[in-house]
Amino acid sequence: MLSHSSTLLRTQLLLATLALLAGVCLGRSDAPRGVSLPFVFDVKAVCDPPCKHAGICIRNNTCFCSQGYEGETCQYANCYPKCKNGGECLRPGKCRCPPGFGGRYCHKVMCDGGCWNGGDCIAVNGEAKCICPSSWTGSRCQEAICPQGCRNGGSCVAPGICSCPEGWLGGACHTAVCKKPCLNGGKCVSPDTCRCRAPFSGPQCEERKKLF
């Protein structure tokens, strides 16, 4: 196998020669098909398996590949610049990118669906990930963080803001609401439920128990 730079040099020399000879051949009707260059070409050369992607068989089992292809039978496309982030070269200049990457050379990180709420899409160990600002979380930074927690079935709807179910109030939905107030020092402990102080009772702690 030839090194890349010498392959390239030979490629250029050979292409120049081919162009020259093609011109000569076209001008002479009795010229044989193809070109023969004793020191490079063997017109009887056999390449088995055959050269792919329009490669030319120049010596027995030696293919001269057309631009953009390489390998013993010119079976591999090469992409310059190379496909990044594990992308596969499909044909010259065309990369197939793994999930999470895009762009001509798979050089762009793509977070499917984007990153919300100011998150940044970056590559972490070859995977596209959203890096979220401090008060957001989730794969797309779609979930707000309520450091105080949302209790009693409340849900965090924005950083530090709980949406509370009916009957609860407060920053963490921790305060029960009693539509009718609890009387006589009673305490509202859950929606419309008073805990009464002795000797009171009743829904609003309005009754005084009779002592016998």
* Percent of residues in the chain assigned helix, strand, coil, to nearest 5: 10, 25, 60
- Name the nearest CA neighbour of 132 among 124, 142, 141: 141
Answer for which of 7, 21, 42, 192 binds ligand NAG (CB under 6 A) is: 42
Residue 36 CB, shortest distance to ligand NAG, in Å, is: 13
Residue 34 CB, shortest distance to ligand NAG, in Å, is: 16
Residue 46 CB, shortest distance to ligand NAG, in Å, is: 5
- Name the nearest CA neighbour of 190 among 209, 168, 208: 168
Nearer residue to ligand NAG within complex by CB, 12 or 60: 60
Answer for which of 15, 46, 90, 189 binds ligand NAG (CB under 6 A) is: 46
Answer for which of 12, 36, 60, 67 binds ligand NAG (CB under 6 A) is: 60
Nearer residue to ligand NAG within complex by CB, 47 or 128: 47
Contact between 36 and ligand NAG (CB under 6 A)? Answer: no
Nearer residue to ligand NAG within complex by CB, 41 or 200: 41
Please give the residue whose beta carbon sits closest to ligand NAG in the complex. Answer: 60
Residue 41 CB, shortest distance to ligand NAG, in Å, is: 11
Tell me, what DSSP letter sits at residue 105? T
Residue 48 CB, shortest distance to ligand NAG, in Å, is: 8
Q: ω into residue 199 within 30 of 0, thus cis?
A: yes
Nearer residue to ligand NAG within complex by CB, 42 or 192: 42
- Name the nearest CA neighbour of 132 among 108, 116, 156, 114: 116
On whether the CB atoms of residues 140 and 163 are closer than 8 A, the answer is no
Nearer residue to ligand NAG within complex by CB, 42 or 72: 42
166-171 contacts at long range (C-beta below 8 A, 24 or more positions apart): 166/191, 167/191, 167/192
State the sign of the Cα–Cα–Cα–Cα dihedral 12, 13, 15, 19: positive
Q: How many CB atoms lie within 10 A of CB 186?
A: 21
Q: Which residues bind ligand NAG (CB under 6 A)?
A: 42, 46, 60
